[in-house]
Amino acid sequence: MSAFINNHYDKLLIFVNFQITLIMITWLLLLLVCHLTCGYFYKELDRSFKHKLAQQYSPKGNSKTDFDVRSKQYQVVKNVVWFNQPYWTQDTIPLGDAFFSKCAVKSCKLVPTTSSTIKSSDAVIFHAVNLPDVSPPKRHPKQTWIFFGLEPPFHYKSRVWASNDWFNLFNWTMTYRFDSDIVHPYSVSRNRELKGFKRSYGDIIKLKTGLIAWSVSNCETRGKRRQYVKQLQDYFQVDIYGKCGTFPCRKKCFEEINKKYKFYLAFENSFCKDYITEKFFRTQNLDVVAIVRGGGDYSRFYPPGTYINTADFSSVRELAIYLQYLDENDAAYSEYLHKKSLFISGDNIRKIAFCEMCRKLHDINVYGRTISNISDWLNTCFEPPDLEAYTTDESELQRQYIDVIASKKKNKPILQIDY
Ligand SMILES: *[C@@H]1O[C@H](CO)[C@@H](O)[C@H](O)[C@H]1NC(C)=O
Ligand SMILES: *[C@@H]1O[C@H](CO)[C@@H](O)[C@H](O)[C@H]1NC(C)=O
């Protein structure tokens, strides 16, 4: 009797062991497959901002650089002064040297603006957007003059810098453009720390009773975004918050938009090279998909599938077809939410840019130059490329529809416009 039980018991044990081994082998296989393919998948998505200048700043103060920060030349303190300091930098860019403490090259100091510091500092920053109507100050020959402005060119309140008096004087530009001497975009993205980050996209989508929201205070702009929105309104209701619409944008306006809508129109006021503002970056941190329209290359900051670019569609109608497709397919829509949640837009950009400035001031032999005609350099804006009249030809409309759905199923952009 007992032998019988033992025999069965052994068989059972062998069976259980076999099962456990099978499960473990399956797991190992899965892990191996994932190691080979998931790694590739994540590498594909690892597109956070890796511009050289980001290496020169680290929140922990241990930046990795391709130059030797201990060498003597980087220890000499460079004084920097604002010629006219924008009021919004008074909190965010404090005077002194603490601001540079997380830079690879830390030996820089922002000194208070006086006529003598303007004469003696190593660098003078001119906030060109508000440059007062005065003659250029006296300079010592080794001084670096920095043309600073974060607005698109026609939003400069001052054009004093365009006059002959200021011709041939500036050494560097510091703007959102990637061909600036010191690049200062509106924000940068980085990989989100996913530990403890949870989202239930089904629940999020359930609360979204509206489709498209837009918050705007500048109604008529060079980019004619309002005209584009009007065409979009032929297909969908667009709820417009703020001065140009009927929905008031109070304190919690973005909370409401985040909860209630699937899409948000992050349309820039003008089409200018590299001009991508916080409209985009702010939306990327929310659970709403940004529809972007502007002159910048968004893929420098975020991978495809984390936003929708109007430039990928040859007409408003094509965009509308695609939005409807996403509205009706929760899986496809939540894929956008998921992908964008892997990234976050940071606010360290001022420090990153000023670190770059500090480093370059210590390498002036390499980076020294003079810009002769600054208005010529600034002039990189263009007319909106997407506001042609739309077709009413039925077979053409049918063709567009088939192309849009087919290309989206293959997850390919329909049309890439290169600026
Ligand atoms: C900056 O520009 C001025 C004016 O053209 C020039 O004299 C000076 O050499 C330039 N400085 C550097 C470091 O290139
Ligand atoms: C500077 O460039 C602008 C725009 O291209 C042009 O209109 C202007 O004549 C130029 N100025 C000089 C002094 O060359």
State the Cα–Cα distance between residues 90 and 96, nearest whole angstrom.
12
Report the C-alpha gap between 173 and 371 in whole angstroms: 8
In degrees, rounded to 5, the angle at the alpha carbon of residue 71 between the alpha carbons of residues 70 and 73 is 125
pLDDT tens, residue order, the chain (419 aa): 455 556 666 776 676 677 878 888 888 887 777 555 554 444 444 444 554 555 667 767 667 777 888 999 999 999 999 999 999 888 889 999 999 999 999 999 999 999 999 999 999 999 999 999 999 999 988 999 999 999 998 888 888 999 999 999 999 999 999 999 999 999 988 888 888 888 899 999 999 999 999 998 888 888 889 999 999 999 999 999 998 889 988 888 899 999 999 999 999 999 999 999 999 999 999 999 999 999 999 998 898 899 999 999 989 999 999 999 999 999 999 999 999 999 998 878 888 899 999 999 999 999 999 999 999 999 898 888 887 544 555 566 566 666 666 666 555 443 322 22
Cα–Cα distance measured from residue 399 to residue 401, given in angstroms and rounded to the nearest whole number: 5
Quick count: other Cβ atoms within 10 Å of Cβ 338? 13
Residue 145: enclosing H or E segment and its boundaries? strand 144-148
What is the pLDDT at residue 5?
52
370 CB under 6 A from ligand 1? Answer: yes
Best residue for ligand 1 mutational test, from 370, 373, 374 (most atoms within 8 Å of Cβ): 370
Q: Which residue in 76, 39, 54, 34 sits closest to 356, CA to CA?
A: 54
The model carries a pTM of 0.81
Dig out the tokens for 35 from the structure.
């190691």
| Tokens matching residue 172 | 């560097």
- Residue 129 Cα to ligand 1 midpoint, Å, equals 22
What pLDDT is stored for residue 53 in this prediction? 54
User: How many angstroms does the Cα of residue 73 sit away from the middle of ligand 1?
Assistant: 20
Whole-number Å distance between alpha carbons of 304 and 27: 31
How far is residue 111's CA from residue 124's CA, in Å, rounded to a whole number? 10
Residue type, 62: N
Check residue 399 and give its pLDDT.
66
Spatial strand order in the sheet of 210-215: 238-241, 210-215, 261-267, 289-293, 308-309
Q: What's the pLDDT at 105?
A: 94
Contact criterion met (CB below 8 Å) for 239 and 265: no
Ligand 1 nearest atom to the CA of residue 170, by list position? 2
User: Do β-strands 108-111 and 78-84 pair in parallel, antiparallel, or remain unpaired?
Assistant: parallel
User: Residue 47 has what pLDDT?
Assistant: 47
Looking at residue 305, its pLDDT comes to 94
Cα 171 to ligand 1 centre (Å): 6
What separation in Å is there between the alpha carbon of 93 and the centre of ligand 1?
26
Question: 151: which 2 tokens?
Answer: 């607005």
Residue 167 beta carbon below 6 angstroms from any ligand 2 atom = yes
pLDDT of residue 251: 80
Which of 174, 173, 183, 81 shows the shortest CA–CA distance to 374?
173
State the distance from the centre of ligand 1 to the C-alpha of 170, rounded, in angstroms.
Answer: 8
Ligand 2 binding pocket includes 379 (Cβ within 6 Å)? yes
Cβ of 368 below 6 Å from ligand 1: yes
pLDDT of res. 397: 58
DSSP code of 123?
Answer: E
Neighbours of 90 (CB within 10 A): 11
Ligand nearest to the CA of 171: 1
Tokens of 59: 């929140």
For ligand 2, say whether the CB of 73 is within 6 Å of any of its atoms: no
